[in-house]
Amino acid sequence: MTDPSHMITPTITLAVFGYFGRNFLEKVAKTVQSEFHFPVRIVESHVDLSDFFDPSRRQYNGNKLLKSVSTLSIRDKGKTLGLFDVDLYIPILTYIFGQAILSGDTGIASTYRLSNEHYGLPPDEELLLQRFTKVVIHELGHAFGLIHCTTPTCVMRSSTYVEDIDQKGLRFCHQCRESLNTDPPAGFKAGN
C-alpha cells in the first residue's frame, strides 16, 4: 500500500509564450484549477518561434513546439501546457487548436484559430476565453490520460472545427471525471 504522505500533488503550469492579458490568463487558470483540483501556476516563457515556422505552410510545427515545451526548465512533477497565439499544424492535419502527450506531462494550446476575427466575425472576448479554456482543459485531460469522448457536451469530445468547441461544455462528463479520479498518474493523488 502506498503511503499517502509520499504522494505528490501535481502542479499544472501554464507556460505563456507571447502576450496574453493577465485577467484572461487568470480566468483560464481559475477554471482549470476548478476542473482538475490541482494548483495552477502561470509562468512567462520565451522561445524563438522562427525555429518552428514552416514558410511553405506559413504555420508553426506543433510537434516541434510540443517537444520544445517538454524540455523547459520550469517543468516540475506536474503537467505543463504551453500557451501560444500562432497558427499550429502537424504534418497530417491542416491545423490544430492544441495537442498533448497522452499520459505525458506536456501539451500546447493556441488562441490563433479561436477568435471570431479569424472567421470575419466581430470580436467576442468572452467567447474566445471559453473556447481557449476548453482547449486547455481538453489537452490537459489528454496529459492526465483521458482519450476522446463521445458524450456531446464533454470537454474531451474531439474538435475539428471551432463550431465543435462551441457545442461542447467546459467540464468532463461523468465517465471522464470517474476515469480522471480513479486512474491518476503514478504518484499523483486524485482530487475530489
Cβ count near 189 (within 10 Å)? 14
Q: Which amino acid is at 16?
A: V
In whole angstroms, what is the distance from residue 88 CA to residue 85 CA? Answer: 9
The residue among 114, 173, 181 whose CA lies nearest residue 148 is 173
CA atoms within 13 A on the CB side of 118: 15
Identify whether the C-beta of residue 128 lies closer than 8 Å to the C-beta of residue 162.
no
C-alpha cell, 127 = 467567447
- Left, alpha or beta for 169 (phi > 0: left; psi -120 to 50: alpha)? beta
Q: Which residues, listed in sequence order, are joined to residue 17 by a DSSP beta bridge? A: 45
The residue among 17, 18, 16 whose CA lies nearest residue 29 is 16
Among this protein's residues, is 126 annotated catalytic?
Answer: no
Catalytic residue (choose from 26, 125, 126, 139): 139
C-alpha cell, 33 = 484549477
Residues marked as catalytic: 139
